Chain A
Amino acid sequence: MSDQSVSTSIGDNLPPPQIGWLRRKLYKSETFRGVTLLSPTILFMAFAILIPFSILITMSFWTQSGFTFDTTFTTANYQTATERPIYWALLKRSLWISGITTVVTVLLCYPMAYYVAFHVHRNKMMWIVLMTLPFWTSYLLRVFAWKVVLGYEGVINSALISIGFIDAPLEFLLYSQSAVIITLAHAWAAFAILPLYVSLEKIDRSLLEAATDLGDGPVMRFFRITLPLSLPGVISASLLIFIPTTGDYITPTLLGGPDGSMIGMLIQKQFGAINNWPMGAALSIILMLCIAAISAIFIILTMFVRKRIS
Chain B
Amino acid sequence: MSSGSYIKRPNRPLQVYAAIFLIVLYVPVLFLPLFSFNDSIYVNFPLSGFTTKWYFELWDRGPVWNALENSLKVGGVVSLLSTFLGIFAAKAITRYRIPGRGPLVSFIMLPLVVPLIIFGVALLVLLSQLGIPLSLYTVTVGHLIICLPFSIATLIPRFEGFDQSIEEVSADLGENAWWTFWRVTFPMVFPGVLASLMLTFTVSFDEFIMAFFLSGTEATLPMYIWSQLRFPQEFPSVLALASLILAASFMFVFLGQWINRGAYASAAKGNEL
Contact = CB atoms under 8 A, between A and B. Distances in A.
Given A55-B125, A140-B225, A155 B18 contact: no
The interface residues of chain A, by DSSP majority, are classed as helix
Interface string B96-128: 111100001001101111111111011111101
B4 A208 contact: yes
A125 B265 CA distance: 7
Contacts of A139: 206-208
A256 B22 CA distance: 25
A209 interface: yes
A45 B245 contact: no
Nearest to B241: A141
A44 B85 contact: yes
Interface string A145-179: 11011010111011101100000000000000000
Nearest to A137: B249
A108 B110 CA distance: 26
Contacts of B123: 48, 52
A73 interface: no
Nearest to B127: A52
B257 A129 contact: yes
B8 A144 contact: no
B10 interface: yes
A186 B264 CA distance: 24
B115 A244 contact: yes
Interface string A272-302: 0000010011001001100100000000000
A171 to B, nearest CB: 15
Contacts of B203: 136
The interface residues of chain B, by DSSP majority, are classed as helix
Chain A interface size, under 10 / 10 to 19 / 20 to 34 / 35 or more: 35 or more
Given A30-B97, A41-B89, A208-B7, A243 B206 contact: no
A148 B31 contact: yes
B44 A158 contact: yes
A267 B118 CA distance: 9
A137 B98 contact: no
A247 interface: yes
B117 A249 contact: yes
A20 interface: no
A199 B29 CA distance: 29
Contacts of A111: 14, 17-18, 21
Interface in B13-36: 14-15, 17-18, 21-22, 24-26, 28-29, 31-32, 35
Interface stretch (B54-62, B72-80, B140-148): B140-148
A41 B148 contact: yes
A136 B199 CA distance: 7
Contact of B117 (A12, A40, A138, A247): A247
A151 B126 CA distance: 39
Interface string A100-143: 00000000100110111011010011001111111011111110
Nearest to A129: B257
A148 B28 CA distance: 8
Given A111-B14, A137-B202, A288-B114, A271 B7 contact: no
Contacts of B212: 249
B134 interface: no
Contacts of A53: 122
A48 B141 contact: yes
Contacts of B7: 118, 205, 208-209, 212
B250 interface: yes
Interface in B228-255: 229, 238-239, 242, 245-246, 249-250, 253-254
Contacts of B124: 271
A8 interface: yes
Contacts of A37: 88-89, 91-92, 96
Contacts of B85: 40-41, 44
Contacts of A11: 174
B191 interface: no
B43 interface: yes
A157 B16 CA distance: 26
B152 interface: yes
A89 interface: no
Contact of A153 (B28, B43, B246): B43
Interface in A72-116: 108, 111-112, 114-116
24 contacts: A34-B98, A38-B88, A40-B88, A41-B89, A45-B108, A49-B110, A55-B125, A112-B17, A129-B261, A130-B22, A137-B250, A138-B246, A144-B229, A144-B238, A154-B43, A202-B271, A239-B113, A247-B118, A250-B209, A271-B121, A284-B118, A284-B122, A288-B114, A288-B118
Given A131-B22, A249-B117, 19 more contacts: A9-B172, A30-B96, A37-B92, A40-B85, A56-B118, A59-B125, A114-B14, A115-B14, A118-B8, A129-B254, A132-B257, A133-B253, A138-B242, A140-B208, A140-B222, A144-B238, A145-B32, A243-B114, A287-B115
